[in-house]
Each structure stands twice: as C-alpha cells, then as structure tokens.
Structure 1
C-alpha cells in the first residue's frame, strides 16, 4: 500500500449497488489492472502499488453485488475484447 493510500484510505462503497455501479466497477478493475515492474506489481494506470484504490473499490463493489471471480473475469474479458 502506498503512503497516499494509508492517508486517504479506501473509497466508500455506494449504499446499494446498481447496474451502473457494476459498469463503473468493471471499468475500474480493467483500467487499473496489474502490471509487472522491477519493484513489483503496479497499477497500469497510475503506477500505485497494485491493487490501487480504484481497483480495490471496483472489486469490493463487484463482491457486494455477489459476482464470483469467474463472472468478474468474463466481464473484464468482454471489456478488453477487440471490437469489430
């Protein structure tokens, strides 16, 4: 966890998770994916230690919605698939 994460803490979850929140969460997990760096895994988007705040928020939203890891992987794959 980066020092800024220690200061700011995690992003709050919505009071109830809507379909729109799920879309935002999938986008956050996709954009803030892990990337290997010499000093370890970092967020592809902001270079913070992985998982960064937005990736953690996205996963917590998806967990709250009741999605399994497999379902999340499928949704991420849909987001990253090339469009015809």
Structure 2
C-alpha cells in the first residue's frame, strides 16, 4: 500500500450494490489496470503501486455483488472491447 493509502484508508463501499455500481466498479478496474514499471507494478492511471485504491474498491464492489472471477473477467473484456 502507498503511504497516501495509509492516510486516506479504503474507499467506502455502497450499502447496496446496484447494477450502476457494478458498471462503475468495472470502469475503475479497467482504468486503474496494472502496468509494469522498473520499480514494479503501477496503476496505469495514477502511477500508485498496483492495486491502487480505486482498483481495490472496484474489486470489493464486485466481490460484494457476489460475482465470480470468471464473471468479472467477462465484464472487463466487454468493457475493453471496441464498441461499434
């Protein structure tokens, strides 16, 4: 965890995870994906150590919704697919 994460803590989860929350969570995971840097894996968006706060929040939301890893991977692939 980055030092700013230690100060700010985790982002709160919504009390009830809606379909809209799932969409936001998938977007957070895809935007805050890992990239390899000389010092290790970093968030593609904010360069924080990966997983950053928003990536962790997205995963926690999807976990709270009860989605499996396979379902999460499918949602991410759908998000990253080119739209016509």
Task: State the TM-score, normalizing by the size of structure 1.
Answer: 0.98
The residue aligned with 1:9 is 9
Gaps of 5+ in 2: none
Query: CA-to-partner distance for each residue in 1:13-66, whole Å, 9 max, x for gaps?
Result: 000100000000000001000110000000000000000000000000000000
SS for the counterpart of 1:83 is coil
Distance 1:82 1:18 in 2: 25
TM-score between the two structures when normalised by the length of structure 2 = 0.98
- After superposing on structure 2, the runs of 4+ consecutive aligned residues of structure 1 that deviate more than 6 Å are none
Segments of structure 1 that go 5 or more residues without pairing to the other structure are: none
